[in-house]
Amino acid sequence: MSLILVAVLMAGVAALAMAALFSMRYERNLFAEGINKLTGKSPPAAMPSASALPVLPAAAPGNQLRRCIINGKTVFSDTECGDRNATTKNVVVHETKGIEAPKAPKPDPADAAPQDLRAKMIEKATR
């Protein structure tokens, strides 16, 4: 392999990594959009805006949290993600305690006391 071929391959890998990072940053799938352009397929129908969606009343048994895609962005809501949106999925919420900080060990009382007689006498005289 020549040095030029290696440089071209590494530039291609870097371009793919940058496209993946941009996809994550802007919550779009640039790879799927590129494949759709190459194959000539039309992109999926755009979702209506959040203001155009009717606000549905919350479900009676306990406000179910839902996930859907509105204007190309993933939204977690119990009101905006209605039954009319095709991408709506129910989300199961798991409550956790989180991470508890480790407790510091208590200092040993034997270490805090002076060890030799001279230090004991100085401490007694200063009281």
28 and 1 assigned to the same domain: yes
Residue % of the chain over a pLDDT of 90: 17
33 and 52 assigned to the same domain: no
Quote the pTM value: 0.34
Q: Is residue 112 part of a domain?
A: no
What would the two tokens of residue 113 be?
Answer: 């006391």
Give the pLDDT of residue 21.
93
Spatial CB neighbours of 78, under 8 Å, sequence gap ≥ 6: 58, 59, 63, 64, 65, 66
Q: Is residue 29 part of a domain?
A: yes
Which residue, chain included where needed, has tokens 């991408």?
87
Spatial CB neighbours of 49, under 8 Å, sequence gap ≥ 6: 70, 71
51 and 73 assigned to the same domain: yes
Task: Give 44-75 pLDDT, tens digit per residue.
Answer: 655 555 455 455 444 444 468 888 888 888 88
Q: Is the pLDDT reported for residue 117 higher than 80?
A: no
Contact 54, 82 (CB under 8 A): yes
What would the two tokens of residue 53 be?
Answer: 């969606």
